[in-house]
Amino acid sequence: MSTAQETADGEMQPWAEVTPDAARRLLIAAVEAFAERGYHATTTRDIAGRAGMSPAALYIHYKTKEELLHRISRIGHDKALAIVRTAADGEGDAAVRLTDAVRSFVRWHAGQHTTARVVQYELDALGPEARAEIIALRRQTDAAVRGIIEDGVAAGDFDVPDVPGTTLAVLSLCIDVARWFNVDGPRTPDEVGGLYADLVLRMVGSKEE
């Protein structure tokens, strides 16, 4: 399945915010190339070729290969943060909100697994300024999940001796789905999301599990 065809939560055009069309085609081609070959092994010629364009055309829209990666990473991390925050700010007790957060976060990493692999695992290829920007977004995602778990502990609904460590474990579990998810496998993104939500409730000792 190509990046253009991936879908999660009905998101058939995950790069709709990228315009014009040529810039979007190049970005999609970059995601596919980075996921397949890795950032450092991918050349701008590779990206342009996948997009059906000349190497010179790429530079009209992106000054460098790193600029492409930064754009991909920023959009992906904004999406991930929005997913978690929507759940964190939703109605219901901590167990309900944590379930929603994990299910949605996992569903995105499964449904958009090619994109998510690049977004989550090519961070070290960014320069210091761009990397710091993405790390700040990751910290906000961490804070949103940590806040839900803290609410559950405060209410006596969760048994979590180490909230920061548990938060890291939860997020790592969700993100790693992008590494192994296979569209031809036995479970859909939604089914994996439900499974992981149940596992996480067990991790935090939820009384609702």
- Contact by Cβ (8 Å): 95, 200: no
pLDDT in tens, 57-109: 999 999 999 999 999 999 999 999 999 999 999 999 999 999 999 999 999 99
Mean residue pLDDT across the chain: 91
Name the band, by pLDDT with cuts 50, 70 and 90, for residue 207. Answer: confident
pLDDT value of position 108:
96
φ, ψ of residue 19 to 5 degrees: the values are -135, 155
Per-residue buried b or exposed e for 27-55, using 16+ beta carbons within 10 Å of the residue's own CB: bbbbbbbbbeeebeebebebbbebbebee
Q: Where are the alpha helices (DSSP H) in 155-185?
A: 163-175, 177-180
Average pLDDT, stretch 38-47? 94
Angle between the N-to-C axes of helices 94-111 and 163-175, in degrees from 0 to 180, rounded to the nearest 10 = 30
> How many angstroms separate the first and last alpha carbons of the chain?
35
pLDDT digits (tens, 9 = 90+) for 132-188: 999 999 999 999 999 999 999 999 999 999 999 999 999 999 999 999 999 999 999
The answer to whether the CB of 46 falls within 8 A of the CB of 33 is: yes
Task: State how far the Cα of 163 lies from the Cα of 153, in Å rounded to an integer.
Answer: 9
CA distance 110 to 176: 9
- Residue 198 is which amino acid? D
Residue 127 banded pLDDT, cuts 50, 70, 90: very high
Q: Tell me the whole-structure pTM to 2 decimals.
A: 0.88
Comparing 12-21, 190-199, 200-209, which segment has the lowest mean pLDDT?
A: 12-21
What is the distance between the alpha carbons of residues 73 and 56, in angstroms, rounded to a whole number?
A: 23
Q: How confident is the model at residue 16 (pLDDT cuts 50, 70, 90)?
A: confident
Contact 68, 60 (CB under 8 A): no
Residue 209: the pLDDT is 55
